[in-house]
Amino acid sequence: MIILFIAFMIVGWAVQSKLKSKFKKYSATPLSNGMSGKEVAEKMLADHGITKVRVISTPGKLTDHYNPKDMTVNLSPDVYEGRNISAAAVAAHECGHAVQHATAYKWLQMRSQMVPVVSLSSKMLNFIFLAGMFGMGVLHMFTMDMVILAVIFCQAMITIFSVITLPVEYDASNRAIVWLQHAGVAQQHELEGANDALKWAARTYLVSAIAAITYLAYYVLMFLGNRDKPTLYKII
Protein backbone atom coordinates (compact mmCIF):
# COMPACT_ATOMS: atom_id res chain seq x y z
CA MET A 1 0.00 0.00 0.00
CA ILE A 2 2.85 2.35 0.86
CA ILE A 3 4.44 1.64 -2.53
CA LEU A 4 1.16 2.47 -4.30
CA PHE A 5 0.82 5.68 -2.30
CA ILE A 6 4.38 6.77 -3.16
CA ALA A 7 3.87 5.86 -6.83
CA PHE A 8 0.75 7.98 -7.15
CA MET A 9 2.43 10.81 -5.26
CA ILE A 10 5.23 10.80 -7.82
CA VAL A 11 2.84 10.63 -10.78
CA GLY A 12 0.67 13.36 -9.29
CA TRP A 13 3.69 15.56 -8.70
CA ALA A 14 4.88 15.01 -12.29
CA VAL A 15 1.49 15.94 -13.75
CA GLN A 16 1.20 19.00 -11.49
CA SER A 17 4.70 20.12 -12.49
CA LYS A 18 3.84 19.71 -16.17
CA LEU A 19 0.60 21.62 -15.65
CA LYS A 20 2.40 24.52 -13.95
CA SER A 21 4.99 24.68 -16.74
CA LYS A 22 2.23 24.73 -19.37
CA PHE A 23 0.34 27.54 -17.62
CA LYS A 24 3.58 29.48 -17.16
CA LYS A 25 4.33 29.09 -20.86
CA TYR A 26 0.91 30.23 -22.03
CA SER A 27 0.72 32.97 -19.41
CA ALA A 28 3.63 34.57 -21.24
CA THR A 29 1.71 34.47 -24.55
CA PRO A 30 -0.60 37.49 -24.92
CA LEU A 31 -4.12 37.01 -26.25
CA SER A 32 -4.30 38.70 -29.64
CA ASN A 33 -7.55 40.55 -28.88
CA GLY A 34 -6.21 41.88 -25.56
CA MET A 35 -9.17 40.67 -23.48
CA SER A 36 -8.65 39.98 -19.77
CA GLY A 37 -9.81 36.80 -18.06
CA LYS A 38 -12.65 38.78 -16.49
CA GLU A 39 -13.77 40.07 -19.88
CA VAL A 40 -13.56 36.60 -21.44
CA ALA A 41 -15.69 35.16 -18.64
CA GLU A 42 -18.30 37.90 -18.85
CA LYS A 43 -18.58 37.53 -22.62
CA MET A 44 -18.96 33.74 -22.45
CA LEU A 45 -21.69 34.05 -19.83
CA ALA A 46 -23.48 36.72 -21.88
CA ASP A 47 -23.23 34.65 -25.06
CA HIS A 48 -24.97 31.77 -23.25
CA GLY A 49 -27.70 34.04 -21.89
CA ILE A 50 -26.51 33.69 -18.30
CA THR A 51 -27.17 36.95 -16.48
CA LYS A 52 -27.31 35.98 -12.79
CA VAL A 53 -23.71 34.75 -12.46
CA ARG A 54 -21.08 37.25 -11.28
CA VAL A 55 -17.39 37.13 -12.17
CA ILE A 56 -15.23 38.01 -9.16
CA SER A 57 -11.57 37.87 -8.15
CA THR A 58 -10.47 35.44 -5.44
CA PRO A 59 -7.07 35.44 -3.66
CA GLY A 60 -4.33 32.90 -4.37
CA LYS A 61 -2.98 30.92 -7.31
CA LEU A 62 -4.91 28.14 -9.08
CA THR A 63 -7.90 28.99 -6.87
CA ASP A 64 -10.22 29.42 -9.85
CA HIS A 65 -13.62 27.76 -9.47
CA TYR A 66 -17.32 28.13 -10.08
CA ASN A 67 -19.51 28.31 -6.97
CA PRO A 68 -23.06 27.14 -7.72
CA LYS A 69 -24.31 28.21 -4.28
CA ASP A 70 -23.79 31.93 -4.75
CA MET A 71 -23.55 31.67 -8.55
CA THR A 72 -20.12 33.24 -8.94
CA VAL A 73 -17.20 32.51 -11.24
CA ASN A 74 -14.18 32.98 -8.98
CA LEU A 75 -10.94 33.78 -10.78
CA SER A 76 -7.49 34.10 -9.22
CA PRO A 77 -5.82 37.52 -9.71
CA ASP A 78 -3.51 36.20 -12.46
CA VAL A 79 -6.51 34.93 -14.41
CA TYR A 80 -8.90 37.76 -13.57
CA GLU A 81 -6.47 40.44 -14.73
CA GLY A 82 -4.41 38.39 -17.18
CA ARG A 83 -4.59 39.06 -20.90
CA ASN A 84 -2.99 35.87 -22.11
CA ILE A 85 -3.88 32.39 -23.36
CA SER A 86 -3.81 30.77 -19.92
CA ALA A 87 -6.13 33.38 -18.44
CA ALA A 88 -8.60 33.01 -21.30
CA ALA A 89 -8.54 29.20 -21.08
CA VAL A 90 -9.12 29.09 -17.32
CA ALA A 91 -11.82 31.78 -17.39
CA ALA A 92 -13.68 29.97 -20.17
CA HIS A 93 -13.32 26.62 -18.40
CA GLU A 94 -14.85 27.95 -15.17
CA CYS A 95 -17.66 29.52 -17.18
CA GLY A 96 -18.12 26.08 -18.72
CA HIS A 97 -19.19 24.93 -15.25
CA ALA A 98 -21.62 27.84 -15.04
CA VAL A 99 -23.12 26.74 -18.37
CA GLN A 100 -23.37 23.18 -17.04
CA HIS A 101 -25.24 24.50 -14.01
CA ALA A 102 -27.57 26.60 -16.15
CA THR A 103 -28.37 23.65 -18.43
CA ALA A 104 -28.77 21.14 -15.56
CA TYR A 105 -25.85 19.00 -16.75
CA LYS A 106 -26.52 15.67 -15.05
CA TRP A 107 -22.94 14.84 -14.05
CA LEU A 108 -22.52 18.22 -12.33
CA GLN A 109 -25.78 17.69 -10.47
CA MET A 110 -24.66 14.25 -9.32
CA ARG A 111 -21.31 15.60 -8.15
CA SER A 112 -22.95 18.45 -6.23
CA GLN A 113 -25.31 16.02 -4.48
CA MET A 114 -22.35 13.86 -3.42
CA VAL A 115 -20.30 16.65 -1.83
CA PRO A 116 -21.71 16.22 1.74
CA VAL A 117 -21.31 12.43 1.61
CA VAL A 118 -17.75 12.64 0.30
CA SER A 119 -16.82 15.22 2.92
CA LEU A 120 -18.10 12.94 5.70
CA SER A 121 -16.42 9.88 4.16
CA SER A 122 -13.06 11.67 4.00
CA LYS A 123 -13.32 12.65 7.68
CA MET A 124 -14.26 9.10 8.67
CA LEU A 125 -11.39 7.65 6.66
CA ASN A 126 -8.92 10.03 8.29
CA PHE A 127 -10.25 9.07 11.73
CA ILE A 128 -9.87 5.33 11.03
CA PHE A 129 -6.31 5.74 9.74
CA LEU A 130 -5.26 7.97 12.64
CA ALA A 131 -6.85 5.60 15.14
CA GLY A 132 -4.94 2.74 13.55
CA MET A 133 -1.64 4.60 13.63
CA PHE A 134 -2.02 5.27 17.36
CA GLY A 135 -2.86 1.73 18.39
CA MET A 136 -6.49 1.34 17.25
CA GLY A 137 -7.94 2.71 20.51
CA VAL A 138 -11.71 3.01 20.03
CA LEU A 139 -11.49 0.64 17.05
CA HIS A 140 -10.92 -2.26 19.48
CA MET A 141 -14.68 -2.49 19.93
CA PHE A 142 -15.06 -3.48 16.26
CA THR A 143 -13.90 -6.55 14.36
CA MET A 144 -11.26 -6.14 11.67
CA ASP A 145 -13.84 -7.01 9.00
CA MET A 146 -16.09 -4.22 10.24
CA VAL A 147 -13.22 -1.75 10.11
CA ILE A 148 -12.23 -2.77 6.57
CA LEU A 149 -15.86 -2.59 5.43
CA ALA A 150 -16.05 0.97 6.79
CA VAL A 151 -12.87 1.82 4.91
CA ILE A 152 -14.29 0.28 1.72
CA PHE A 153 -17.52 2.28 2.04
CA CYS A 154 -15.69 5.57 2.58
CA GLN A 155 -13.23 4.88 -0.22
CA ALA A 156 -16.09 3.85 -2.54
CA MET A 157 -17.78 7.24 -2.01
CA ILE A 158 -14.50 9.05 -2.73
CA THR A 159 -13.92 6.90 -5.81
CA ILE A 160 -17.40 7.49 -7.23
CA PHE A 161 -16.95 11.22 -6.69
CA SER A 162 -13.55 11.17 -8.43
CA VAL A 163 -14.95 9.27 -11.41
CA ILE A 164 -17.99 11.55 -11.72
CA THR A 165 -15.66 14.55 -11.66
CA LEU A 166 -13.97 13.41 -14.89
CA PRO A 167 -16.87 14.06 -17.31
CA VAL A 168 -17.64 17.31 -15.47
CA GLU A 169 -14.12 18.65 -15.98
CA TYR A 170 -13.63 17.34 -19.53
CA ASP A 171 -17.01 18.68 -20.60
CA ALA A 172 -16.27 22.13 -19.14
CA SER A 173 -12.98 22.22 -21.07
CA ASN A 174 -14.69 21.15 -24.29
CA ARG A 175 -17.33 23.86 -23.85
CA ALA A 176 -14.55 26.39 -23.27
CA ILE A 177 -12.57 25.49 -26.39
CA VAL A 178 -15.66 25.36 -28.63
CA TRP A 179 -16.83 28.75 -27.40
CA LEU A 180 -13.38 30.36 -27.71
CA GLN A 181 -13.32 29.25 -31.33
CA HIS A 182 -16.90 30.08 -32.31
CA ALA A 183 -16.88 33.45 -30.52
CA GLY A 184 -13.68 34.44 -32.27
CA VAL A 185 -12.00 35.18 -28.98
CA ALA A 186 -8.89 33.14 -29.81
CA GLN A 187 -6.93 32.53 -32.99
CA GLN A 188 -6.02 29.00 -34.11
CA HIS A 189 -2.58 28.95 -32.46
CA GLU A 190 -4.13 30.38 -29.28
CA LEU A 191 -6.79 27.68 -29.31
CA GLU A 192 -4.09 25.03 -29.52
CA GLY A 193 -2.35 26.55 -26.50
CA ALA A 194 -5.59 26.80 -24.51
CA ASN A 195 -6.46 23.21 -25.34
CA ASP A 196 -2.98 22.04 -24.32
CA ALA A 197 -3.20 23.81 -20.95
CA LEU A 198 -6.70 22.51 -20.18
CA LYS A 199 -5.71 19.00 -21.25
CA TRP A 200 -3.01 18.88 -18.59
CA ALA A 201 -5.37 20.34 -16.01
CA ALA A 202 -7.83 17.52 -16.73
CA ARG A 203 -5.08 14.93 -16.29
CA THR A 204 -4.72 15.87 -12.63
CA TYR A 205 -8.31 14.69 -12.11
CA LEU A 206 -7.60 11.56 -14.14
CA VAL A 207 -4.66 10.63 -11.92
CA SER A 208 -6.79 11.18 -8.81
CA ALA A 209 -9.55 8.95 -10.19
CA ILE A 210 -7.14 6.15 -11.09
CA ALA A 211 -5.55 6.36 -7.64
CA ALA A 212 -8.97 6.20 -5.95
CA ILE A 213 -9.98 3.14 -7.99
CA THR A 214 -6.69 1.41 -7.18
CA TYR A 215 -7.03 2.02 -3.44
CA LEU A 216 -10.61 0.78 -3.49
CA ALA A 217 -9.58 -2.40 -5.31
CA TYR A 218 -6.83 -2.95 -2.75
CA TYR A 219 -9.23 -2.74 0.19
CA VAL A 220 -11.80 -5.00 -1.49
CA LEU A 221 -9.16 -7.65 -2.20
CA MET A 222 -8.00 -7.37 1.39
CA PHE A 223 -11.54 -7.93 2.64
CA LEU A 224 -12.06 -10.92 0.35
CA GLY A 225 -9.06 -12.59 1.89
CA ASN A 226 -6.73 -12.52 -1.11
CA ARG A 227 -4.01 -11.45 1.31
CA ASP A 228 -2.83 -12.65 4.69
CA LYS A 229 -5.11 -11.61 7.54
CA PRO A 230 -4.36 -7.86 7.70
CA THR A 231 -3.71 -5.63 10.64
CA LEU A 232 -4.77 -2.03 10.58
CA TYR A 233 -1.14 -1.10 9.98
CA LYS A 234 -1.34 -2.95 6.65
CA ILE A 235 -4.42 -0.95 5.72
CA ILE A 236 -2.40 2.19 6.20
| Rounded Cα–Cα distance for residues 83 and 79 (Å) | 8
Compute the C-alpha angle 106/111/116, nearest 5°: 140
Catalytic-labelled residue, pool 42, 94, 169, 190: 94
Has 81 been annotated as catalytic? no
**Inter-residue long-range contacts of 64-69, CB under 8 Å, 24+ positions, other chains counted:** 64/90, 64/91, 64/93, 64/94, 65/94, 65/97, 66/94, 66/95, 66/97, 66/98, 66/101, 68/97, 68/101, 68/108, 68/112
Would you please indicate which residues are annotated as catalytic (active-site) residues?
A: 94
